[in-house]
Amino acid sequence: MKTLAVIALKGGSGKTTVATHFALGAHLRGVDTLLVDIDPQHSAADILSAREAPGPAYVTSTGRNVLAAQFGALSQRKDLMIIDTPAGAVEAVSEAVVLADLAVLIVRPTLIDLSGLARSLMLVRRLGKPSVVVVNQAPPARETVEAPLVKRALKGLDYMQAAVAPVIVRSRSVYQTALERGRSAEEMSDRAAAAEIAALWDFVDATLAAPTQDAATG
């Protein structure tokens, strides 16, 4: 079983949106998945509980109990466990990251989010875990040219020597509307969103299978 921790010490960056999309994406590909929601807000569990069709298993837990959840997932012979973590809770996030094969850091392309990301990156590096950064809620690129905001963010991430996912997640309303009923954007009619989130999952899945040297050094 592989374990993924989706983290960002900064609030509202998109952890729950990405974590639930990964759980749904894995489930849609036949991967037996458990999402462990250790955020006291339980947004990820609420999202998955709204799903009518069969979906990934989910459970609410805490940083302190996430190891017990992992033992449970192992005994249920799950293929994948995804942990959605709270903002600001260094201890709970650390408890998730120590149990993870890969930490996925979510960041919006703004200065305030990037400074928060530096702290998340330090935490992951201190724990010696492979990590990958996902830029989320980015404005659209014009042709293939990124908006200045995104260019600056990528430069900042370069300074931090962060491994950045090659797929940037754009700000799209379908990510909000799909999750209202526990569905992935992959199950909706917005083809660009479906392709984007599928490509991101494929990248993370491949990284999880064999973390690259880049991801390993963060």
Ligand X SMILES: Nc1ncnc2c1ncn2[C@@H]1O[C@H](COP(=O)(O)OP(=O)(O)OP(=O)(O)O)[C@@H](O)[C@H]1O
Taking the C-alpha atoms of residue 18 and residue 50, their distance in angstroms, rounded to an integer, is 17
- Least distance CB 95 / ligand X (angstroms): 16
C-beta separation of 83 from 5 below 8 A: yes
Applying CB under 5 A, the span of 12-20, 50-58, 69-77, 147-155 interacting with Mg ion comes to 12-20
Taking the C-alpha atoms of residue 199 and residue 58, their distance in angstroms, rounded to an integer, is 23
The residues with which 83 forms a beta bridge, in sequence order, are: 5, 36
CB atoms within 10 A of CB 146: 18
- Least distance CB 44 / ligand X (angstroms): 8
16 makes contact with Mg ion (CB under 5 A):
yes
- Per-residue binder mask for ligand X (CB under 6 A), 23-52, x = binder: ----------------x---x---------
Nearer to Mg ion, 33 or 136 (CB): 136
Query: For strand 102-107 and strand 2-7, is the pairing parallel, antiparallel, or unpaired?
Result: parallel
Sheet containing 57-60: give its strands across.
57-60, 33-37, 80-84, 2-7, 102-107, 131-135
Window 86-145: residues binding ligand X (CB under 6 A):
87, 136-137
- Least distance CB 39 / Mg ion (angstroms): 5
Nearer to ligand X, 162 or 197 (CB): 197
Taking the C-alpha atoms of residue 120 and residue 155, their distance in angstroms, rounded to an integer, is 17
Using CA atoms in the order 3, 82, 57, 14, what is the torsion angle rounded to 10 degrees? -170
- Least distance CB 176 / ligand X (angstroms): 4
- Per-residue binder mask for ligand X (CB under 6 A), 1-20, x = binder: -------x--xxxxxxx---
Window 40-69: residues binding Mg ion (CB under 5 A):
43
Taking the C-alpha atoms of residue 95 and residue 5, their distance in angstroms, rounded to an integer, is 10
Q: At what angle do helices 15-28 and 173-180 cross, to 10 degrees?
A: 70
- Per-residue binder mask for ligand X (CB under 6 A), 141-180, x = binder: ----------------------------x-xx--xx----
Residues in contact with ligand X by CB under 6 A are: 8, 11-17, 39, 43, 87, 136-137, 169, 171-172, 175-176
Residues in contact with Mg ion by CB under 5 A are: 15-16, 43
